[in-house]
Amino acid sequence: MPVKHVNNVPVWQRREPLKQYAIWAGWMLGGMLFLLCWKVISDNTIWEFMYDAGTQAGSLIGRMIPPDWSITGSLMVPLWDTINIATVGTALGILIAFPLSFLAARNTTPHPALRAVALAIIVSSRSINALIWAMLLVTIVGPGIFAGMLAIALRSIGFVGKLLYEAIEEIHPTPVEALSSTGAARTQVLAYAVWPQIMPAFAGISVYRWDINIREATTLGLVGAGGIGLQMNAAINNLAWAQVATVFVLIFATVIVSEWVSAKVRHAVI
């Protein structure tokens, strides 16, 4: 316990002096960094726009309420497309992530070089948002649902791959040892000792990612990759805020349903 002597009277202190100074210095540096960053942002901001932000917000909300329900029917097909983008994209992503995670896990990889390649793919896929993948893919395969599905798949590879290879690295090693000692082939050991152990994690991760992908798929239309985002983008460009509000309500409902489904499924498998 750190004790300081003031006039020979011991005084209790919470930390060693050096540590206390280090913590103060850390807070000081953090605060200074924050002020510096704030200054950069403030320099790049036209503050005149801020003065009427309140009125702007007010009028925006005023124009959004009530939502324009007449377009709900025409939004059903885009909504169906959005769900397909998320579901098919997730399935494609899982299809690629599954073998990749076995290459990336330390205890199942056939070769360290392959492991490095698999990890590089996972990191690249994870670092880049689905929307950026969509922007790229729209220039490559053309606008539409297909680009959206590929974008979702590309983003999901990294997410599913990372969580799955971590799950593989955490399995109990003894069943693997036991099945190797029966003379089973590598693939048989994977199917009998590794797969049953990671199966619940795999199901949970997949459904979780599907839930996230539903949210992400709602925005892909902004860059032309299909789904309800296309209608939202059109409405925003036309400043038809009442229609935008309808889209928002639909997105909100879809997300809540998908969250409920994913919670149910995860509950069932774990």
Site for other proteins in 151-180 (CB under 8 A): 174-175, 177-180
User: Length of the chain in residues, anyone?
Assistant: 270
Q: Which is nearer to other proteins, 5 or 135 (CB)?
A: 135
Regarding 127 and contact with other proteins (CB under 8 A), the answer is: yes
Q: By CB under 8 A, name the one of 11, 142, 238, 260 that touches other proteins.
A: 142
Regarding 263 and contact with other proteins (CB under 8 A), the answer is: no
Q: Which is nearer to other proteins, 25 or 36 (CB)?
A: 36
Residue 7 Rama label (left phi>0; alpha psi -120 to 50; beta): left
Q: By CB under 8 A, name the one of 21, 24, 27, 38 that touches other proteins.
A: 38
DSSP secondary-structure letter at 75?
G
Regarding 184 and contact with other proteins (CB under 8 A), the answer is: yes
CB of 84 to other proteins, least distance (A): 5
- Percentages helix, strand, coil for the chain (3-state, rounded to 5) are 80, 5, 15
Q: Which stretch binds other proteins (CB under 8 A): 14-22, 37-45, 103-111, 202-210?
A: 37-45
Locus of tokens 């949970």? 204
User: Taking a C-beta distance cutoff of 8 angstroms, is the pair 155, 224 a contact?
Assistant: no
Of the candidates 159, 268, 142, the one whose C-alpha atom is nearest the C-alpha of residue 216 is 159
Tokens representing 254 are 């879809």
Q: Which of residues 75-114 bind other proteins (CB under 8 A)?
A: 80-81, 84, 87-88
